[in-house]
Amino acid sequence: MAHASALMNVMIGAARQTARQLRRDFGEIEALQVSRKGAADFVSNADLKAEQTIFEELSKGRPKYGFVMEERGEIEGPDNSNRWIVDPLDGTTNFLHGLSHFAISIALERDRQPYAGVIFNPATDELFWAEKGQGAFLNDRRIRVSGRSDLSASLFATGLPFKDRPGRTLALDETGRVLEATAGIRRFGSAALDLAFVAAGRFDAFWERDLNIWDVAAGAAIVREAGGMVSEIKGGTNFLTAGSILATNTTLHDQAKKLLAG
């Protein structure tokens, strides 16, 4: 692997430890007990076990850091500058349907800004990681956002609101405009991997609304270190908590923002 700092080794170690059990659970998907958490939003035993493993591993590595976790919420730590932002299983619906597009997402937020990120798909063994000022990587290989500047040749990714979630009309309006102006849209069901794919140049842009901080924090850190731009859809900087994100290369950012504005 490319040289990783002690911090990154803690994060990558936690992701890999968690991945072992997710692989086992993914192989036994029919045996999982699933509880209803909301309309078309499921949480599995695998999700809860993964979060516990990440919590234990990160706590050992950096015991003073706080947490924001999808299932157990916010946990304050003695260190007020640093906290972990964790989604133990992004793409739960894919996971529960036997689709191998899901990821462990771990970010370090430092002074309320994304500082480092790890996004790991255990099914494909693709590990995306980045630390501020050190570049972005896919396993051992340095990655960069795409160099594409022509909107009509660009591939976008997004997520669409599912049952009982607000914002469907707006999302479909935006999707229609993007379809008319670009080479196409992909909707794969994991915001973390969508952002990682922007960082790797597989997608040229990603946008979505009504996301949580654990959906985007790691991906934002990786996209930035890969040379990309991350903002709210309208261009603001509060994408971690505003529930709106647009990630692109630097050339396409203004074009994408204008396109989505209608």
Report d(CA 14, CA 17) in Å as an integer: 5
Which CATH number covers residue 120? Answer: 3.30.540.10
Bridge partner list, 142: 137
Report d(CA 1, CA 147) in Å as an integer: 25
Same domain as 161, residue 109:
no
Same domain as 134, residue 161:
no
Domain edge (last residue) among 91, 114, 143? 143
* CA atoms lying within 13 Å on the CB side of residue 92: 23
The three-class DSSP label of residue 69 is: strand
Question: 252, 150 in Cβ contact below 8 A?
Answer: no
Same domain as 96, residue 165:
no
Same domain as 220, residue 176:
yes
Residue 134 burial (10 A CB sphere; 0-12, 13-18, 19+): middle
Same domain as 169, residue 126:
no
Same domain as 191, residue 124:
no
Expressed as residue numbers, the domain containing 128 is 6-143
> What six digits make up the tokens of 154?
């660009």
Same domain as 12, residue 137:
yes
Same domain as 13, residue 136:
yes
Domain edge (last residue) among 143, 172, 206? 143
Rounded alpha-carbon distances, angstroms, from residue 17 to 51, 52, 107 = 11, 11, 16
Q: Is residue 1 part of a domain?
A: no
Q: What is the 3-state secondary structure (H, E, C) of 88-129?
A: EEECHHHHHCCCCCCEEEEEEEECCEEEEEEEEECCCCEEEE
pLDDT in tens, 7-22: 999 999 999 999 999 9
Alpha-carbon dihedral sign for residues 110, 71, 20, 59: positive
Give the confidence band of 31 by pLDDT, cuts at 50, 70, 90: low
pLDDT in tens, 199-254: 999 999 999 999 999 999 999 999 999 999 999 999 999 999 998 999 999 999 99
Question: What is the number of structural domains in the chain?
Answer: 2
135: left (phi over 0), alpha (psi -120 to 50) or beta: left
Judged against a pLDDT cut of 60, whether residue 122 lies above it is answered with: yes
Q: Is residue 174 part of a domain?
A: yes
Chain position carrying tokens 């529930």:
243
Same domain as 178, residue 93:
no
Contacts of 125 (CB under 8 A, 6+ apart): 139
Rounded alpha-carbon distances, angstroms, from residue 54 to 59, 88, 142, 184, 240 = 8, 7, 25, 36, 21
In this structure, what are the phi and psi dihedrals at residue 55, rounded to the nearest 5 degrees?
-60, -45
pLDDT at 124: 97
Bridge partner list, 245: 208
pTM to 2 decimals? Answer: 0.94
Same domain as 123, residue 158:
no
Domain edge (last residue) among 98, 127, 143? 143
Same domain as 159, residue 124:
no
Judged against a pLDDT cut of 80, whether residue 41 lies above it is answered with: no
Q: Is residue 135 part of a domain?
A: yes
